[in-house]
Each structure stands twice: as structure tokens, then as C-alpha cells.
Structure 1
Amino acid sequence: MLDRAEVKNKWKLTPLKNFKSPRLTERMWRTALVVLITSIIYEYPLEGRNPCFALIGAVYGVGSQFEEGFHNGINRVIGTLVGGLLVIPFYKLYTGQPFGIPGWVWLVAGVCLVLWCNFALGADSAIQPGIVIYFVVMFTVGKERVLLYTIARILDTGFGVLLTLLLYVLYPSKYDKAKGVSLKTFWAEINNAFRSYKSKNRTMRKKEHENFGTDDDKNFSFIISKIKKDKHL
């Protein structure tokens, strides 16, 4: 622990002295509103159905504008879909341990497959939500409920995200208003946002390769050229 005597002005260690309450932003009231609407829908029309994953999907879908909200939400939907579908067979493998293979081997194999599927779909940023649902089902749900629970959570997540996106077209942000976003253009906006989502993931993968792959590629090319040179000698 840091000794007080070593600190000339201990108040510099905390931001409380200069604390200012943040202003109420559009993102705050949108989040509060979509949580309220989702909670009411699940409490009354759906007769007390568990709203947890719908609320998570709804909050994920909130952004500064429609496109950002779609990107956040689609990450959650794709991740939940991939992780949820894959955890069903791997739960049985993990608990049953067929062929005498330990459960942890099946656990890791399932995680690797979740990663691979998200990469194959070009949804790199959906990996974390996918692995979250994988572990949630694997370790918190009884085996008699795995199938129905997982399918229900996938549907709930999609519903929450969809509800948030509908809120954006009914009450568009200033930026979305300028773009002409409305209920009539909903499917066109979905299409445009999905294209930009794929482009964003490709850009992320390219940057990741530039940051982490370039040196290895150069070293590999150098080794190959050296081997070829030694053969000629």
C-alpha cells in the first residue's frame, strides 16, 4: 500500500475533487427507453418470460446512430447464434466424455470451433459474444434444458436487437434524420449497415495482419529464400 507520507498531494490520486456529472445524452435515454419497453413486453404480453438476453441484445443494439447500433447488435446476434448452436452438441460431449476423452478436451475443441466459424463468417468481432453464450450454457444450465434454453436465448437476443433498431427508425438521431432514415427505409438501412459491417470486419482483419503478421511473414520469406540459396550452393 502506498504510504501517505510519500504523496505530496493525495487528492491528485482521485478524480472526486473535480467530478462533474455527465449530461444526459441521446444514448442514455435510448438505452433507458429500450430497456423499459423490452421489460414491459416480457412482463405483460409474454407473461413474465425471462427478459435477460433480450435486454442484453437491446442494450448491445444502442449506438450513436442506426449503423453503429446495427454493428453492435449484429455482433451479439451472430455470436449468440454460433456459440449457442455449437454448445448444444459440445455440452453432451463435455458431460458424456465419449471414447474416454476428458471433458476439458471437448470444451476447448468447442471454443476453437466457435472461433473458426466466426472467422469463416467474417464476423471477427462476434467472437466474444459467441464464447460468452457458449460458457453460460455450458456451466449454468442443466442438461435437460440445454436445447430449449439455447434456442430461446438466441430468439430473445435477436428480438432485443430488432426492437432497438426499430426505435432508431421511429425516433432517428440527428445524423440519421439527415440521411433520411425512417420506417420506410428500414430494410434498405439494414442492407447498407450489413455491407458496412462486413467491410469493417475485413478492415479489422487486415489491420490485425499488418500489426501481428508482417514480421512473421518477412521472417518466413527470409528462411525460405535462405534454404533455396543454400541448395544452389
Structure 2
Amino acid sequence: MEKFELPHLGSRNIKTGLSVLICLIFWPNSLFAAIAAVICMQDTVENSVKIGLNRLIGTLLGGILGVLLLFTINKLNLTSFATVITALGVSLIIYICNIIKKPAACSIASIVLIGILISHRYDDPLMYSIRRTVETAFGIIIALIINKYIHPPKSKKQKTNEKLENVNNK
């Protein structure tokens, strides 16, 4: 019978929890900051920056288009077409992300746009969009700071060099 062993608690695990803790201490109940911190804690600082930028760009684009479409729906009294407009908005935001060569931002941009267009909880969609973008940026910044300065992971270049050294030493 094999002995059951738990994996060790890695530094990325600890840093992710610490990032969420800091986000929630400074901004209690900030769902979007905490989510951004979890998603942006990656295996290298470079990957954290890449994921963070895509997340921020997607949040911003989805928020802007969502607010513009909601304003249009409300001004032109198109609420009966809101479902179709939401679907068209998702296609448009994906197209925009591809035009600006940020396909990795498509998912979050679509999610933010859908959140603005179908949620009736937000009295002021512009403020929702701004708050969501600021909270997301806060979570990204916290994750980047923690990942870079607390037990920083090896860069892609360092990992590649180590692999080459291991191959050469065999």
C-alpha cells in the first residue's frame, strides 16, 4: 500500500493568499480586486504582468462598450432588444480585442460588458464600470508587487538557462 503524501505548500500558493488578504484589508468586500489578485499570481513576474495587462485592458474595454451600449439602449428605449444588443456587443468587443491584437482580453471584456448590460443591480453603470476597473487594477498591482518582491519566482530566461545547464551536465 502506498503512503499518502500531501504536496508541500508552495510559495505561489502563499503569495496568492497574501495578495487576497491585502486586497481585502485595504478594500473590504472587493470581489474584483481579489479575483484579479488570484488570476494575476503566475509562475513568473513576466506572466503576471502579461495576464494583468490583458485583464485590465479587457475590463476597461468591456466597461466602456457596456456603458455606451446601455446608454444607447436607455436613450433609444431599446430594452426589448437588450438581449440581441448584448450578443452583438459581445461579438463587437471580441472583434475590437482582435483588432488591437489583445485576444487574451476577449473573455474578461465580454464578461464585463455582459455584467453591465444584464444586471439591474447597478443604478449607475458608469460608476460600476469605473469601480470595477479601479478594483481590478488594485488587485493586479498587489499581485505584481507580492510576486516580484516576496520570494520572487525565476524568470523565463532563468528557467531556460537552468534547463540548458541540466541538459549540458548530463
Instruction: Tell me which residue corresponds to 1:35.
Output: 20
Instruction: Tell me which residue corresponds to 1:78.
Output: 57
Residues 1:118 and 2:91 aligned together: no
CA root-mean-square deviation: 2.6
Taking the aligned partners of 2:105 and 2:88, their CA distance within structure 1 comes to 18
Taking the aligned partners of 2:81 and 2:4, their CA distance within structure 1 comes to 52
Correspondence for 1:91 among 46, 70, 74: 70
Instruction: Tell me which residue corresponds to 1:132.
Output: 111
CA contact 1:79–1:127 (8 Å) conserved in 2: yes
Residues 1:26 and 2:11 aligned together: yes
Taking the aligned partners of 2:50 and 2:98, their CA distance within structure 1 comes to 16
Instruction: Tell me which residue corresponds to 1:163.
Output: 142
What are the superposed Cα offsets for residues 45-95 of structure 1, whole Å, 9 maximum, x if unpaired? xxxxx4111111111210011011112222211111111110002123345
Deviating beyond 6 angstroms after TM superposition, the runs of 4 or more aligned structure 1 residues are none
What are the superposed Cα offsets for residues 112-158 of structure 1, whole Å, 9 maximum, x if unpaired? 22111111111101111111111122222445321111111011101
Taking the aligned partners of 1:100 and 1:107, their CA distance within structure 2 comes to 11
Taking the aligned partners of 1:167 and 1:141, their CA distance within structure 2 comes to 36
Over 3 Å counting, the alpha-carbon distance change for 1:18 and 1:125 in structure 2 is farther
Taking the aligned partners of 2:8 and 2:133, their CA distance within structure 1 comes to 34
Task: Supply the AA of the counterpart residue of 1:35.
Answer: V
Percent identity (aligned): 26
Task: Supply the AA of the counterpart residue of 1:129.
Answer: I
CA contact 2:55–2:105 (8 Å) conserved in 1: yes
* TM-score of the pair, normalised by structure 2: 0.79
Superposition deviation, residue 97 in structure 1: 5.5
CA contact 2:90–2:114 (8 Å) conserved in 1: no
Taking the aligned partners of 1:94 and 1:19, their CA distance within structure 2 comes to 58
What are the superposed Cα offsets for residues 27-50 of structure 1, whole Å, 9 maximum, x if unpaired? 11111110111111113xxxxxx4
Task: Supply the AA of the counterpart residue of 1:60.
Answer: I
Taking the aligned partners of 1:132 and 1:23, their CA distance within structure 2 comes to 34
Taking the aligned partners of 2:78 and 2:120, their CA distance within structure 1 comes to 24
CA contact 1:34–1:58 (8 Å) conserved in 2: yes
Task: Supply the AA of the counterpart residue of 1:166.
Answer: I
Q: Indicate the structure whose relative CO is greater, using CA pairs within 8 Å and at least 6 residues apart.
A: 2
Task: Supply the AA of the counterpart residue of 2:12.
Answer: R
Superposition deviation, residue 108 in structure 1: 2.1
Task: Supply the AA of the counterpart residue of 1:110.
Answer: G
Task: Supply the AA of the counterpart residue of 2:89.
Answer: G
Task: Supply the AA of the counterpart residue of 1:42.
Answer: W
* TM-score of the pair, normalised by structure 1: 0.59
Structure 1, unpaired ranges of 5+: 1-16, 44-49, 180-233
Task: Name the count of aligned residue pairs.
Answer: 156
CA contact 1:93–1:103 (8 Å) conserved in 2: no
Taking the aligned partners of 2:59 and 2:149, their CA distance within structure 1 comes to 26
